[in-house]
Every structure is written in structure tokens, then in C-alpha cells.
Amino acid sequence: MKLIIYLIIYLFIGCKNPNYKFNNSTDEGIYKIDTITKNSEKVQLFDTLLIKKVRFNKKPFKLKHLYLQEKKIDSVVETLWECGNPFQWKGEVFDYNYVKGARYVTNQNDAFLDHAKFIGDNNLTFIDSQIIINKETTLKDFRVIFKNLKILEIEEGFAVYNITFNPSQPEDNWHFYFNKEGYIISFYLDWWLC
């Protein structure tokens, strides 16, 4: 009987072994996460920038669709989600609304910013700090803010990733793009849905 109890305890503890280990240290709304891979002893660090800690042009990422209707919408594209729905909205057809270099996905009730270009006065502001990201932000500036980012050289310049916005699913990532001169040009949110 003791053997069965020990086996159950072992299985229970073994199944509870997390893939992600959190460091609880914060720095201006930026959190560090230790991600431990199952098949390796290697620890991968992610920087975390929570969506709720960021504003785009002083507005939150989730808005009422009515807000977009008050703005001048440049264009609307109907789309289907291929791998699921991060917003848990009912239905499967959504619109992309484009407003001044920003793309919002909407179900005609709510709207969520998922992509934007840093044109004109477009900016990201970290609400717990004095950090502002705009078209003058460089790759060098980014390295000071995010210590664990990954940089990929691409034809147009540089892609920066490894900055999660969802600590419970670190693969949900911010992707930032920089031109060849090292200035930021856009971002988009990559949801781990498939």
C-alpha cells in the first residue's frame, strides 16, 4: 500500500514539474521569465512586456469598435482566423481595420490592436515608466530595455523577438522590425494559436 501511495505522490509531483519558472523580479513593468526546456538543461530567458502595461498613442490595445468608427478608417479587410481566436469572440469572421498605420482586428463590438507602423507620431508608451518607443528608437536603445531579446538579420533590416506578452504562454511574442539603419519601423503581436 505504501508503494502505491509513494507512486501516486511521485506521479503527482512529476506531472506538476513546470516548463516555465518565473523570476518575480520586475523592472518598470518588464518581467523576466526563465523557460526551461524538457529535453535539455539549457535555460532560455524571455523578456516580458505585458500588453496591459503598454499604450499605443496613449490608448489601450483593446478598445470598443465605436472608437474606430469615430476615427477615419483607411480601409477594412474581412478575414478568417486559421488557428483559433485569441480573443474568445463568438463567430469566426473578423475585420481588420486600418487607421493611420495601425491595424485593429474587430468583431464589430470590440477592437484589438495587433500591428502598427511607427509613422508620424505613432508611439508605444510603457505606463509604469518613462519609456517611449517611437520612430526615433534604435536597436541599441532596445538592447538597453530588453536584455534577452533575439535579433534576426532580414533583407529589410532586423527582426527582434523573444519578448513575450503572455507569461503563461511565452511563445506569444512581440515582433519588432528595424530598418537597415537600426531605427524601429513596426511591431506586431504573434499569437501562439496552432
**Domain residue limits, the chain:** 48-190
Residue 99 scores a pLDDT above 60: yes
3-state secondary structure 109-152: CEEEEEEEECCCCCCEEECCCCCEECCCCEHHHHHHHCCCCEEE
In this predicted model, what pLDDT tens digit does every residue of 127-173 receive, in sequence order? 988 899 999 999 999 999 998 889 999 999 999 988 988 888 888 88
In the chain, the percentage of residues whose pLDDT exceeds 70 is 70
Confidence band of 40 (pLDDT split at 50, 70, 90): low
In this predicted model, what pLDDT tens digit does every residue of 44-71 receive, in sequence order? 678 889 999 999 999 999 998 888 888 8
pTM over 0.85: no
CB contact at 8 A, 131 and 152? no
